[in-house]
């Protein structure tokens, strides 16, 4: 999904619930279950030919009338579903507060976390005091050994969800704990590049005017934040900090390279770290990070690790202290007095994404509760808002999608039997979680105080880090979820050969149990197909049915797949969402493969669900027309230009408008909408990308 999880590292998370593979499609009615067509006819612009611009045809009427709320960088179907989930979460959290639950219960923790963030009077009164200990620790650094210790103490395995940067941790490195690429039965810690305050290295190294403008604005923001905190010579400090981050960015791998798992499988023994990446006092760093007994790490970006470690030695201690001070303030600005919060939003919201107004505080408070106590809220959420009937219907759709994909593999004339066998095995062993996990996370040991918003965030971040480290000594938990049920998203997990579909995305218009099957398959069915297809994209196809990174292709099949993928790269690179700014077809390839293959599988699954019966015509639209229209309307959006520019640089997904044009690669779309040669989206049969 577009909202989240651009990086391959975030695809390597967990194993969810198991839905047994069905050899035959699940029964589904051949006629609509109600009068609901599932698509919105007045969203269309009938003056636009479907074959010229299918997104414009499907969503042009809506886009002319839509206004982006001032608190958001975009609007559309994703925001619509998110706001519904947010309203439900608000009701649940407020009910928990009103219930006056006993201390240390999940309900009490939910209520007090929310109340602490909403208590702006206490936050204003305490000023920087809640962060004083952390700032004093930085100020007390007198050696590079001290620096390594503080960096190690602040190593985290999660990203602060309320921080609008939401890109890297405050540390020079990040840690990710999951299965080993070469041995998915073993849990390993991955060391990742970090240390930047802007979304991507391109913001530091690019000479494009829009990027250099943001880079300059970032330095002004760094200066102003330090000045607000009362530090001396804020302009000089800001210049040193940004110059250091320029060097950090230069050491980083570019986005496309950093997402290649073949370049990530670099196990280093702990005693190799000082030799392979000299500069950082690794012994002190790992000891402070509670990792001194860990014998081996997987170094996802070896060159970056070497470069970042070398910078610890080459750059002055005072510069590193300034950098740590800034990131400490920056990461927790949302929990500090209004002047800090507003300054933070002015850069990350207004300047970086073009969002004129910050979200209401109660909405941000809900985001914090969901981030830090997500399973506690999620358990209540699904009990009230996700009925067993919806879960059963989505599971039936999943079975049809798996059957359709399996049949599509059988029909691939170019694929050798040996490759087909392993591809089919991946489908047959795929674990699919629908709605929520079987086992809920407990929050034993996490301290939440009614009068300590910043402390709650800091302790929750520490608690999550320890939770992740605890996996290193335990067997694989193949039922753990990392997405909460109230998350509007979905994910494919190659190491576990698994999918997650949280309850909150299984809502209209993505999924409506009262709607026509064509709409549901065109919308949530295409999403399910998309996530299944990630198991066979340019990264997922490198993992076998056990989740091991292993080449299971014949040389001829792999060459064919790469050639077809190259056609998709070229197709998306030709798109120009903004004048002079093209989509990076390599950067978005995995998502584009999943869109094409997922839509094709969803179409087949829709027809399987009809069980040989003709689809009804509703409101003058055939079943196929409704299917493709639902798909395009599922990508309905309107986005601010700065946010779109950021996405084109730092996201692995193509913009929504271009994703809606995926239909041009699907043969039945041409028949459904009578698309003819000469129309702008028309591709000859030979030009259409066919991957799975």
The CATH number covering residue 30 comes to 3.40.390.10
Which percentage of the chain shows pLDDT scores above 90? 85
Confidence of residue 406 (pLDDT cuts 50, 70, 90): very high
Q: How many domains does the chain have?
A: 2
Mean pLDDT in the chain?
A: 91
pLDDT of residue 286: 98
Rg (CA), the chain: 25
- H helices of 610-665, where? 623-633, 641-650, 656-660
pLDDT tops 60 at residue 508: yes
CATH code at 157? 1.10.1380.10
The answer to whether residues 79 and 186 belong to one domain is: no
Boundary of a domain, candidates 303, 320, 335? 335
203 falls within a domain: yes
Confidence of residue 446 (pLDDT cuts 50, 70, 90): very high
Boundary of a domain, candidates 301, 335, 369? 335
pLDDT of residue 26: 33
The answer to whether residues 150 and 233 belong to one domain is: yes
Q: Do 238 and 247 contact (CB within 8 A), yes or no?
A: no
Q: Which one is predicted more confidently, 177 or 475?
A: 177
pLDDT tops 70 at residue 167: no
Confidence of residue 206 (pLDDT cuts 50, 70, 90): very high
Rounded to an integer, the average pLDDT of 396-401 is 96
pLDDT of residue 540: 87
Which percentage of the chain shows pLDDT scores above 70? 93
pLDDT of residue 382: 96
pLDDT tops 60 at residue 169: no
The answer to whether residues 598 and 512 belong to one domain is: yes
The answer to whether residues 668 and 587 belong to one domain is: yes
82 falls within a domain: yes
pLDDT tops 60 at residue 9: no
pLDDT of residue 23: 29
340 falls within a domain: no
The answer to whether residues 141 and 238 belong to one domain is: yes
pLDDT tops 70 at residue 135: yes
The answer to whether residues 24 and 156 belong to one domain is: no
Q: What digits encode the pLDDT tens for the residues 64-116?
A: 999 999 999 999 999 999 999 999 999 999 998 888 888 889 999 999 999 99
453 falls within a domain: no
**Residue 612, domain extent:** 8-88+386-436+479-672
415 falls within a domain: yes
pLDDT tops 80 at residue 16: no
Confidence of residue 177 (pLDDT cuts 50, 70, 90): very high
**Which residues neighbour 575 within 8 Å (Cβ) at sequence distance 6 or greater?**
582, 583, 654, 658, 661
Lowest mean pLDDT segment, chosen from 4-18, 276-290, 547-561, 583-597: 4-18
pLDDT tops 90 at residue 624: yes
Cis preceding-peptide flag for 400 (omega within 30 of 0): no
pLDDT of residue 158: 58
Confidence of residue 15 (pLDDT cuts 50, 70, 90): very low
Lowest mean pLDDT segment, chosen from 25-29, 44-48, 213-217: 25-29
The answer to whether residues 532 and 420 belong to one domain is: yes
Q: How far apart are CA 388 and CA 435, in angstroms?
A: 10
Lowest mean pLDDT segment, chosen from 165-174, 500-509, 571-580: 165-174
pLDDT of residue 322: 98
- H helices of 447-588, where? 453-469, 517-520, 526-533, 555-573
Lowest mean pLDDT segment, chosen from 9-13, 448-452, 633-637: 9-13
**Which residues neighbour 524 within 8 Å (Cβ) at sequence distance 6 or greater?**
394, 397, 505, 506, 510, 511
The answer to whether residues 666 and 587 belong to one domain is: yes
**Which residues neighbour 66 within 8 Å (Cβ) at sequence distance 6 or greater?**
75, 76, 638
Boundary of a domain, candidates 296, 315, 335? 335
pLDDT of residue 461: 93
pLDDT tops 50 at residue 260: yes
Rounded to an integer, the average pLDDT of 256-279 is 94
pLDDT tops 80 at residue 33: no
pLDDT tops 50 at residue 423: yes
375 falls within a domain: no
Q: Do 88 and 690 contact (CB within 8 A), yes or no?
A: no
The answer to whether residues 542 and 628 belong to one domain is: yes
Q: What digits encode the pLDDT tens for the residues 454-497?
A: 999 999 999 999 999 999 988 887 777 889 999 999 999 888 88
The answer to whether residues 398 and 538 belong to one domain is: yes
The answer to whether residues 546 and 428 belong to one domain is: yes
The answer to whether residues 43 and 187 belong to one domain is: no
Lowest mean pLDDT segment, chosen from 49-58, 191-200, 347-356, 469-478: 469-478
40 falls within a domain: yes
**Which residues neighbour 189 within 8 Å (Cβ) at sequence distance 6 or greater?**
175, 176, 177, 291, 294, 297, 298, 469, 472
Lowest mean pLDDT segment, chosen from 137-151, 252-266, 354-368: 252-266
679 falls within a domain: no
């Amino acid at each position: 999904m577009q909202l989240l999880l651009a990086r391959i590292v975030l695809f390597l998370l967990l194993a969810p619930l198991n839905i047994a593979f069905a050899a035959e499609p699940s029964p589904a009615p051949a006629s609509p279950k109600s009068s609901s067509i599932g698509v919105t006819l007045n969203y269309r612009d009938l003056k636009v030919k479907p074959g010229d611009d299918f997104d414009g045809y499907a969503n042009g009427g809506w886009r002319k009338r839509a206004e982006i709320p001032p608190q958001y960088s975009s609007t559309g179907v994703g925001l619509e579903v998110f706001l519904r989930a947010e309203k439900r979460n608000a009701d649940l959290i407020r009910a928990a507060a009103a219930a006056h639950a006993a201390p240390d219960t999940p309900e009490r923790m939910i209520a007090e976390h929310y109340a602490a963030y909403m208590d702006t009077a206490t936050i204003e009164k305490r000023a920087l005091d809640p962060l004083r200990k952390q700032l004093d620790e930085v100020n007390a650094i007198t050696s590079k050994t001290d620096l390594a210790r503080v960096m190690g103490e602040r190593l985290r395995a999660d990203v602060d969800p309320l921080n609008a940067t939401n890109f890297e941790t405050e540390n020079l490195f990040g840690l990710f704990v999951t299965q080993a690429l070469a041995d998915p039965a073993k849990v390993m810690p991955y060391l990742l590049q970090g240390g930047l305050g802007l979304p991507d290295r391109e913001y530091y190294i690019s000479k494009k005017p829009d990027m250099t403008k943001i880079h300059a604005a970032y330095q002004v923001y760094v200066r102003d934040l330090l000045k607000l905190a009362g530090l001396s010579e804020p302009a000089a400090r800001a210049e040193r900090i940004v110059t250091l981050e320029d060097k950090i960015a230069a050491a980083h791998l570019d986005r496309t390279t950093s997402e290649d798992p073949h370049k990530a499988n670099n196990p280093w023994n702990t005693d190799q770290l000082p030799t392979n990446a000299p500069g950082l006092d690794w012994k002190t760093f790992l000891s402070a990070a509670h990792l001194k007994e860990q014998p081996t790490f997987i170094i996802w970006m070896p060159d970056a690790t070497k470069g970042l470690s070398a910078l610890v030695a080459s750059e002055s201690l005072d510069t590193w202290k300034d950098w740590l001070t800034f990131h400490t303030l920056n990461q927790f600005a949302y929990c500090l007095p209004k002047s800090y919060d507003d300054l933070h939003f002015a850069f990350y919201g207004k300047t970086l994404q073009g969002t004129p107004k910050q979200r209401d505080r109660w909405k941000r408070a809900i985001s914090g509760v969901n981030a830090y106590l997500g399973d506690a809220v999620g358990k209540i959420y699904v009990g009230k808002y996700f009925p067993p009937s919806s879960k059963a219907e989505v599971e039936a759709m999943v079975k049809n999608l798996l059957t359709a994909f399996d049949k599509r593999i059988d029909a691939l004339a170019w694929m050798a039997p040996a490759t087909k066998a392993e591809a089919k095995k991946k489908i047959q062993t795929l674990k699919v979680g629908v709605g929520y996990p079987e086992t809920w996370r407990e929050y034993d040991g996490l301290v939440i105080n009614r009068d300590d918003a910043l402390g709650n965030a800091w302790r929750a971040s520490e608690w999550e880090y320890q939770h992740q480290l605890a996996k290193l000594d335990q067997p694989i938990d193949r039922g753990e979820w990392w997405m909460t049920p109230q998350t509007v998203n979905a994910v494919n997990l190659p190491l576990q050969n698994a999918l997650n579909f949280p309850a909150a995305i299984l809502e209209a218009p993505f999924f409506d149990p009262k709607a026509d099957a064509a709409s549901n398959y065109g919308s949530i069915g295409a999403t399910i197909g998309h996530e299944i297809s990630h198991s066979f994209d340019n990264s997922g196809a490198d993992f076998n049915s056990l989740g091991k990174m292993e080449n299971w292709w014949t040389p001829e099949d792999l060459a064919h797949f790469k050639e077809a993928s190259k056609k998709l790269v070229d197709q998306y690179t030709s798109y120009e969402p903004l004048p002079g700014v093209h989509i990076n077809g390599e950067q978005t390839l995995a998502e584009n493969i999943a869109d094409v293959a997922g839509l094709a599988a969803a179409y087949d699954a829709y027809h399987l669900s009809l069980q040989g019966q003709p689809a009804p015509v509703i409101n003058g639209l055939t079943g196929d027309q409704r299917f493709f229209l639902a798909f395009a309307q599922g990508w309905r959006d309107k986005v601010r230009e700065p946010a779109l520019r950021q996405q084109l640089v730092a996201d692995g997904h193509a913009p929504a408008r271009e994703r809606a044009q995926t239909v041009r690669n699907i043969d039945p779309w041409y028949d459904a909408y009578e698309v003819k040669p000469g129309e702008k989206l028309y591709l000859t049969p030979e030009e259409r990308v066919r991957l799975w």
